[in-house]
Amino acid sequence: MLLCFLDESGDHILSGGDPNYPVFVLAGVVVEEGYYASVIQPEMEELKQRLFGKRDLVLHTADITRNRNGFEGLKDPGFRARFYQEINAAMRRWHYTVLGVLVDKRRLVEVYGSSAWDPYDLSLGFLVERLVFLSEERRDRAKIIAESRSSSLDQRLKRTWEGLLEKGTPYVRAQRLRRRVEGLIFKKKGDNEAGLQLADLAASPIGRHYLGKPAKEDWEIVAGKLHHGLVVFPKS
């Protein structure tokens, strides 16, 4: 079984969002279930225990960047350098595949106006297509694990997922999708699921790269694990 963990970078608001980050990124980290349970989950817990003295700390890009919610120690330059050295080494070492979709919200509104789709719903369709292709290549079935955001947003995403199961996508018929992807479940950030944290760490570098921000090692790592490149919508 393949596990596909989803997390996003940026907000899905088409007007009134962050003007300095006008994109929405949906990242899927796909990993074989046995490898995930025996390697990634325990090694991430050990890394946090080694660096922070506890395993129940959730790796969250916004908190890491702002040195908050348990990451206050990163204010020390030496410790911050050690943290990034270790987390980047782990991200490079672990075996997983990244599926990435980026929606340029400014261009989406320019091209589609008031008929523009919600960026999260739109991204999910593109990502699910590529998950089907990947599962066929691996001759395996997949399960999607998404981070729970709020009751209303989770219900909306669930309806989008059910619509995909019923109607498929322009490139993947519903029957083909149902044959390869068995379901979508939600996990909360507090569940301390390593796969969701890894998806969080993979999403932000994609957005920074697209916006031309200074390159960091994490983008090089993510780019090397992207499956068939990054989906950007709308196309230029």
In the chain, % helix, strand, coil (3-state, to 5) comes to 55, 20, 25
In whole numbers, what is the pLDDT of the chain averaged over residues?
A: 94
Element (H, E) at 111: helix 105-112
Q: What are phi and psi of 235, to 5 degrees?
A: -70, 150
What's the pLDDT score for residue 18? 83
For residue 222, is pLDDT > 80?
Answer: yes
For residue 17, is pLDDT > 80?
Answer: no
* Count of other CB atoms within 10 angstroms of residue 151: 8
What's the pLDDT score for residue 34? 98
What's the pLDDT score for residue 156? 87
What's the pLDDT score for residue 12? 82
User: Which of 93-102, 109-118, 226-235 ranks highest by mean pLDDT?
Assistant: 93-102
For residue 107, is pLDDT > 90?
Answer: yes
Which CATH number does the domain housing residue 166 bear?
A: 3.30.420
**DSSP-H helix ranges across 113-231:** 119-138, 151-167, 174-180, 194-210, 217-225
Q: How far apart are CA 65 and CA 128, in angstroms?
A: 30
For residue 16, is pLDDT > 80?
Answer: no
For residue 129, is pLDDT > 90?
Answer: yes
**What is the pairing mode between strands 181-187 and 23-32?**
unpaired
Cis peptide bond N-terminal to 234, omega within 30: yes
Q: Cβ-count burial of 18 within 10 angstroms (0-12 exposed, 13-18 middle, 19+ buried)?
A: exposed
Query: Domain range holding 163?
Result: 2-233
Mean pLDDT of 42-68: 96
For residue 189, is pLDDT > 90?
Answer: no
- Of 101, 180, 73, the closest CA to residue 137 belongs to 180
Q: How far apart are CA 23 and CA 205, in angstroms?
A: 12
**Which comes out higher in pLDDT, residue 153 or 54?**
54
For residue 15, is pLDDT > 80?
Answer: no
| Chain centre to alpha carbon of residue 88 | 16
| DSSP, res 172 | S
What's the pLDDT score for residue 150? 84
Sorted by sequence, the CB contacts under 8 Å of residue 211 that are 6+ apart come out as 21, 23
**Which comes out higher in pLDDT, residue 152 or 53?**
53
Q: Residue for token digits 């981070």?
A: 147
- pLDDT band of residue 28 (cuts 50, 70, 90) is very high
Amino acid in position 20: N
For residue 175, is pLDDT > 90?
Answer: yes
What's the pLDDT score for residue 122? 92
What's the pLDDT score for residue 80? 97
For residue 149, is pLDDT > 80?
Answer: yes
In the chain, the number of structural domains is 1
